[in-house]
C-alpha cells in the first residue's frame, strides 16, 4: 500500500502552485495549501486530502505545525513579474519583489524546518527565473530577487543535507495568470513564442510536473540544483 505523505504548497491558488496541488493529490498524497485568497475546490475524491489555509506568508511566518506533524515536502510558489527599466524602479518596487520572492521563502522555511526534519526524505522546491543566468533588459528587480533565491537554494542544500533536499526551478515565461499581461493577446503571445528557442510557451502543468518530481523520492539524490526549464533559452542560440 502506497504511503500517504503530506506536502505544503505556499501559493497554490493559481498557476504553477495550483497545478502542483492537483498533481500531488492525484498521486494520492495530502496537500496543505496556503494562499491569500484560499481555494474553493469542488467536492471530489481528493477533498479529504486537501486543506486550504487563507494566510499571507509574505507578511507573517507561516508555521504549519498546527496542521501537520511532519512535511515530506514544501514548495514556495509566490512570485512577481515586474519588468521596468532601472530608472523606473522605485524603492517600494524593489522591496516588494525582495519580500515576495526571497524573504517570504526564507521565513516560511524557518517556520517549518522542524516539520521537514521529521520526514526521512524531505524536499524543498523554490522558484527562480531564466533571467538570473541570462541577462535580459528590464529584469533588474526580479532577477536580483530571484538571484537571492538561487543563493538560498545552494546554501540551504549544504546546511540541511542529508536530511532535507533543496532545489529550485528557473523557468522562462510560463503561461500563468502572473504572465497574463505579457501573453494577453495573439500578437503578444506570438512574439513571446518567437523569442523562445522552442517556439512555444511552457505551461504551468509542465513546470509543476518538474516540481512534483523534485518533491518525490525519485529525485532523492538531487540537491542544491537550479534546473533551467526554459526551452533552451539559457543554453542555446
136-192: per-residue pLDDT in tens? 999 999 999 999 999 999 999 999 999 999 999 999 999 898 888 888 888 989 988
Tell me the CATH number at 109: 3.40.50.720
Residue 40 is predicted with a pLDDT of 85
Within-domain flag for 141: yes
The SS3 of residue 73 is strand
Q: Which residue has the higher pLDDT, 33 or 48?
A: 33
Within-domain flag for 26: yes
CA dist 85 and 90 (Å) reads 10
Within-domain flag for 60: yes
Within-domain flag for 232: no
Within-domain flag for 236: no
Q: Give residue 10's domain range.
A: 6-227
pLDDT single digits (tens) 60-111: 999 999 999 999 999 999 999 999 999 999 999 999 999 999 999 999 999 9
Within-domain flag for 1: no
- Can you give the pTM of this predicted structure? 0.95
Within-domain flag for 189: yes
Within-domain flag for 177: yes
Number of structural domains the chain divides into? 1
Residue 69 burial class via C-beta count within 10 angstroms: exposed 0-12, middle 13-18, buried 19 and up: exposed
CA distances from 164 to 112, 117, 149 (A): 12, 7, 17
Amino acid at each position: 500500500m502506497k504511503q500517504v505523505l503530506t506536502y505544503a504548497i505556499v501559493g497554490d491558488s493559481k498557476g504553477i502552485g495550483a497545478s502542483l496541488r492537483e498533481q500531488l493529490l492525484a498521486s494520492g498524497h495530502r496537500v496543505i495549501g496556503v494562499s491569500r485568497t484560499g481555494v474553493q475546490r469542488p467536492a471530489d475524491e481528493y477533498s479529504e486530502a486537501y486543506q486550504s489555509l487563507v494566510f499571507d506568508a509574505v507578511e507573517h511566518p507561516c508555521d504549519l505545525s498546527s496542521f501537520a506533524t511532519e512535511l515530506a515536502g514544501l514548495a514556495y510558489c509566490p512570485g512577481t513579474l515586474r519588468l521596468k527599466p532601472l530608472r523606473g524602479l522605485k524603492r517600494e518596487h524593489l522591496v516588494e519583489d525582495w519580500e515576495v520572492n526571497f524573504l517570504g521563502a526564507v521565513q516560511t522555511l524557518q517556520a517549518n524546518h522542524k516539520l521537514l526534519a521529521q520526514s526521512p526524505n524531505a524536499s524543498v522546491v523554490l522558484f527562480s527565473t531564466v533571467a538570473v543566468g541570462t541577462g535580459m533588459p528590464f529584469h533588474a528587480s526580479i532577477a536580483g530577487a530571484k538571484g537571492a533565491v538561487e543563493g538560498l537554494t545552494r546554501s540551504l542544500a549544504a546546511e540541511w543535507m542529508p536530511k532535507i533536499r533543496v532545489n529550485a526551478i528557473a523557468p522562462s515565461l510560463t503561461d500563468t495568470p502572473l504572465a497574463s499581461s505579457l501573453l494577453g493577446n495573439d500578437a503578444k503571445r506570438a512574439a513571446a513564442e518567437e523569442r523562445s528557442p522552442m517556439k512555444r510557451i511552457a505551461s504551468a502543468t509542465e513546470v509543476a510536473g518538474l516540481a512534483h518530481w523534485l518533491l518525490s523520492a525519485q529525485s532523492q539524490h538531487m540537491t542544491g540544483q537550479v534546473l533551467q526549464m526554459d526551452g533552451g533559452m539559457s543554453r542555446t542560440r
